[in-house]
Amino acid sequence: MVAVSIVGWAAEPPAVEKARFELELIKELASIGAVSRARLQLAEDKLSDARDEDTLRRLLYGRIGVEELSESQAKELVDAAGRRVERVARQYEGQRALVDQGVISKGQVDDIERQLADRRLGLQLAESRAKMFEDLLNMAKIEELFAAEPQEADEPKPVVETFTGSGVFKDAHLKYVEAAFEKQFGKPLPISARGQSALHTMLGFDHSGRVDVGVNPDDEEGEWLRNQLKALQVPYIALRAMIPGKSTAPHIHIGLPSSRLKHADTHSGGSLN
């Protein structure tokens, strides 16, 4: 972890670097009594805010897929977005008070009002991303649960339907299915986890060479996908909604069930990584 944070430090984004540089300067001035305690606090807030903004840029607006997040990153994201709201909310309160006292005009708080609305939206997005992450986490846990305790398959619609086929799932199969799905439904195959993700690694599952697709097995799309996989003899697990005691989204896992990661294997990726 030490090596990682050093790398992160070296690659500090310009806005954070600038705020840190300013803070160092203000600290020096404060040490000789040249600036007020309030001015120092302002510089500290500015640095914290730049860091939080960078967290949002990386984990919310960046290219990182929700399935690539770790549990701590999902929390970090919501915390950073929350602090960004609080900081501006405090400023806004202060300025509102000045408006009430007639010190400044109402128009002068427009900017900060807009900023507050933007940041509240950012918090909403962060929370919904964290919720998506939680759903994926539950999905992965459910797969493991059913890989461990196979279901009775004699019910008409078992909660979990397992198809083994030839037991082989290759890149070429996925490419074919993705193209065929897009042609059929006019949109990309909604893949929620492609190969090994940080999430599966965290849970200790080997999900390499496996893919999760966020479709309901009994919808038109899910039924189509199951038929394709059967025709290709590609193994899959169809997980239906409402598994007692668990809240998870229905989906189709393509490939053999996940196995437990052996410690030494955590860095070996599958072909679908």
Of the listed pieces 20-28, 96-104, 167-175, 206-214, which binds Zn ion according to CB under 5 A? 206-214
**Count of residues interacting with Zn ion (CB under 5 A):** 3
- Between residues 116 and 254, which has the closer beta carbon with respect to Zn ion? 254
How many Cβ atoms from other residues are within 10 Å of residue 122's Cβ? 21
Q: Does 253 bind Zn ion (CB under 5 A)?
A: yes
Q: Which residues, at least 6 apart from 9, have a Cβ–Cβ distance to it below 8 Å?
A: none
- Between residues 56 and 261, which has the closer beta carbon with respect to Zn ion? 261
- Between residues 77 and 213, which has the closer beta carbon with respect to Zn ion? 213
Least distance to Zn ion, CB of residue 58, Å: 26
Of the listed pieces 9-17, 32-40, 76-84, 247-255, which binds Zn ion according to CB under 5 A? 247-255
Least distance to Zn ion, CB of residue 209, Å: 11
Site residues (CB under 5 A) for Zn ion, limited to 116-145: 143
**DSSP-derived pairing of the beta strands 160-163 and 236-239:** antiparallel
Least distance to Zn ion, CB of residue 219, Å: 18
- Between residues 55 and 258, which has the closer beta carbon with respect to Zn ion? 258
Residues in the chain: 273
Q: Does 67 bind Zn ion (CB under 5 A)?
A: no
Task: Output b/e per residue, 180-204; b: 16+ Cβ within 10 A.
Answer: ebeeeeeeebebbbbbbbebbbebe
Nearest to Zn ion by Cβ — which residue?
A: 253
Q: Does residue 211 sit in helix, strand or coil?
A: strand
Q: Which residues pair with 211 in a beta bridge?
A: 194, 254
- Between residues 226 and 253, which has the closer beta carbon with respect to Zn ion? 253
Among the listed residues 205, 212, 214, 232, the single contact to Zn ion using CB under 5 A: 212
Least distance to Zn ion, CB of residue 258, Å: 6
Query: 212 near 139, Cβ under 8 Å?
Result: yes
- Between residues 49 and 212, which has the closer beta carbon with respect to Zn ion? 212
Q: What residues line the site for Zn ion (CB under 5 A)?
A: 143, 212, 253
